[in-house]
Copies of this chain bind each other. A is one copy, B any other.
Amino acid sequence: MLTKEQITEWLKQLQDAICNALEQADDKGGIAGTGRFKEDSWERQEGGGGRTRVIEHGNILEKGGVNFSAVHGVVPLFLKEDTAGSGTETFYATGVSIVLHPKSPMVPIIHMNVRYFEMSNGTWWFGGGIDLTPHYVNKDDARFFHTALKTACDKHAPNYYPDFKKWADDYFFITHRNETRGIGGIFFDKLDKSTGKSKEELFAFLQSVGNAFAPTYTALMLKNKDLPYTDKHKQWQLMRRGRYVEFNLVYDKGTKFGLETNGRIESILMSLPETAGWFYNHVPAVNSEEEKTLAYLKKGINWI
């Protein structure tokens, strides 16, 4: 029987493996040793804690975090309805959360979250997702990224990729802008026994998603790191980062959960870029790369 301790241990190892892979890739962008994760261990007053690992001013990665946490306690009030709780049960939540903001506007922003949740009443589920936010959409990169996710999904069930790709389109959506955050990816939540899969089977799927992250993103880092760019591209990057900030602060459920459960603020908001910008009523020039990118920020595009 798969225990929460086993899942927790695997998530810690995933954090280690991903940090190592990212540091090695970042070394290839300039002087080796420039980009190194720094760890802050923290404890949550109400129970549990985490290992926040942040990288700043690497060769390729400007700012990012690869965070592990495992928190527990009494189920917060605002979750009660969701979890059909009776009011006295406790919860245990563990996961790895990643957001990486590269220096170059030619390298995409990426996000991944893989998590496990259980309650003392026997309820448990897995959730997570990966999505890519290129400052400039490149169709080859988009196909490569989505193919990697499809491959990870298809090992477990034929409906996972199409279903979770649609879920990502709907979730990573900035309603007030009527645009997607980026080119999407996969998103899934509350995968439990009602799916017809065992806990072991669902965990195996979560592992496939987590293990797909490092090879996929480091390939995109290395492929794009030397592309030339100008101040115009940097300004556009600031605007796209501004949209990223809007999504995370207005819509993101993980951020909301963190803020409302007295999470560690600096760990939660490591997802925000070092700089972001807002330029009033900016409209890209006709047929520009910026306009082409905006046209791709729609739901339902088949990238493969």
Question: In whole angstroms, how far apart are the Cα atoms of A63 and B277 in the complex?
Answer: 11
Q: What are the interface flags for A215-247 relative to B under an 8 Å C-beta threshold, 1 for contact and 0 otherwise?
A: 000000000000000000000001000100110
For A, the interface residue count at a CB cutoff of 8 angstroms equals: 29
Q: Chain copies in the assembly?
A: 2
Q: Is A169 close to B, CB under 8 A?
A: no
CB pair B245–A280 under 8 Å, yes or no, is: no
Nearest neighbor of A269 in chain B, beta-carbon distance: B278
CB pair A63–B245 under 8 Å, yes or no, is: no
Q: Is A43 close to B, CB under 8 A?
A: no
CB pair B276–A276 under 8 Å, yes or no, is: yes
**Which of B245, B265, B274, B279 contacts A279 (CB under 8 A)?**
B274
Q: Which of A250, A259, A277, A281 has the most CB of B within 10 A?
A: A281
Q: Which of A54, A246, A278 has the most CB of B within 10 A?
A: A278
Question: In whole angstroms, how far apart are the Cα atoms of A277 and B238 in the complex?
Answer: 10
CB proximity to B under 8 Å, residues A248-304: 249-250, 259, 265-266, 269-270, 272-281
Provide a sorted-by-A list of 7 A–B residue pairs whose CB atoms are within 8 angstroms.
A54-B281, A56-B280, A245-B249, A246-B269, A270-B280, A275-B275, A275-B276
Supplied contacts A63-B280, A249-B250, 18 more A-B pairs, CB within 8 Å: A40-B281, A54-B281, A56-B280, A176-B259, A176-B265, A177-B265, A242-B272, A245-B245, A245-B249, A246-B269, A249-B249, A250-B259, A269-B278, A270-B280, A273-B278, A274-B278, A275-B275, A276-B278
